[in-house]
Structure 1
C-alpha cells in the first residue's frame, strides 16, 4: 500500500509533538505505557483476559502468532489488548501500532467481512505501521543513535525495539548510511 503524499514527514512531526507534550526530547525513547496513559487508553494483556475466559488462552499458545494486539472500541473509548506471549520489543511495536490508530483518529471498522474473513484496510494499517515506527524511533532518534555511535544492542535496549525495527527506522530516516554497526 502506498502512503498518501506527505504522510511520512507528518508521522515524524506527530511523533516529535507527542514527545513534546510529554516533556521528552525529540530523540528520547517513548515507552508505550506512557503514551497510552497520556491518551487515556488502557492496555491489558491476553493473559489477563485468559484468566477470565479460558478460550483466550489459545492466543497465548498454539495460535500465538495469529494476533499481536487489538483495540476494542466502546463508543469513543478504546481499550488495547496485547499478546504478552510475544517478546517485549514486539509488544512495544504492537501497542504503538494500536496507539497510532488512535492518534490518527482512524475510525473502527468491522472485524470480519461478510465471508467471515478478517477485514483489512491496507491503507489504514500502513499509516499505523509507519507512525508506530516513528513513535518508537523518530528521525531525530535515528540520527542520535548514529551520532552517539550506539551499537545495535544498545540502541535496541534504549528504544525497546527489535533488530528488524531498528534496521528499518535507521534505513528510513537516512541515518543508516552514516552508521557503523557492531
Structure 2
C-alpha cells in the first residue's frame, strides 16, 4: 500500500515533502469530483442536501461511487477544505486498492456499514498520500508541532497528529538512545 501511494505521488511529480493535491490525482485517474452543492444542478433533492449539508453534516463526508464502468466521488462541501482533502484522499485510497462495492451495505438504521479492513487500508493510503512516512519522520526529528505539519501538508491538525504519532515515538526513542536533542 505504501508503494502504491509513493508511485501515485511520483506520477504527479511530487517528492515526499511536497503537499499532495487529491483533486489532481482524481483528475489523473479520470474520476470527477462533485460536491453536494454541485449535485443540486443534477436534481439532488433539497431535503437530502439540507440533511447532509446542514442538519447532519458530520454524518457523511464523501463517497466513491460506481457509475457504470466509471467512478465518481461525491464530497460534502459543508466540511472545511482540509477535511475535504483528506476525505478525497481516503476515497482515492479505496480506488487505488481496487476495493469492491459489494461490501457496502445499509444497516437496519439505514446507515452505511463498511468493511473495517478496507476502511483501515484506505485510511493508511490516504495518510501515505497526504503525509508520506519519510516526511513524517523528518518532521518528527525536527520537532514540528501539529500546526506546522498541518500547514506544510495542507491537512487538519487532527490529521497531522494522527500521522505524526508513530514517527514522534521513533524520534523520541532515537533521541534518548543516542543522546542527542531533536532540533526545535
Class of the TM-score when normalised by the shorter of the 2 chains: 0.7 to 0.9
Return the offset for 1:112. Answer: 3.1
5+ long unaligned stretches in structure 1: 1-10
Q: Retained in 2: the 8 A contact 1:60–1:84?
A: yes
Aligned residue runs from structure 1 range 75-86, under 5 A = 75-86=68-79
- Partner residue of 2:149 out of 140, 146, 155: 155
User: Structure 1's 108 and 148: CA in aligned 2 closer, same or farther, altered over 3 A?
Assistant: same
Higher relative contact order (CA 8 A, sep 6+): 1
Q: Could you say what the CA RMSD is over the residues aligned between the two structures, in angstroms?
A: 2.4
- Partner residue of 2:31 out of 30, 41, 45: 41
Matching residue of 1:15 = 5
- Partner residue of 1:63 out of 49, 56, 61: 56
| SS in structure 2 at match of 1:65 | helix
2 CA distance for matches of 1:18 and 1:90?
A: 20
Return the offset for 1:114. Answer: 7.0
TM-score using structure 1 length:
0.82
User: Structure 1's 59 and 136: CA in aligned 2 closer, same or farther, altered over 3 A?
Assistant: same
User: Which has the larger Rg?
Assistant: 2
2 CA distance for matches of 1:166 and 1:79?
A: 27
5+ long unaligned stretches in structure 2: 173-181
Q: Report Cα offsets for 1:49-88 as digits up to 9, x if no partner.
A: 1353223232110110111001221132110011111111
Return the offset for 1:37. Answer: 1.2
TM-score using structure 2 length:
0.81
Do structure 1's residue 129 and structure 2's residue 123 form an aligned pair? yes
| SS in structure 1 at match of 2:71 | strand
User: Structure 1's 137 and 107: CA in aligned 2 closer, same or farther, altered over 3 A?
Assistant: same
| SS in structure 2 at match of 1:130 | helix
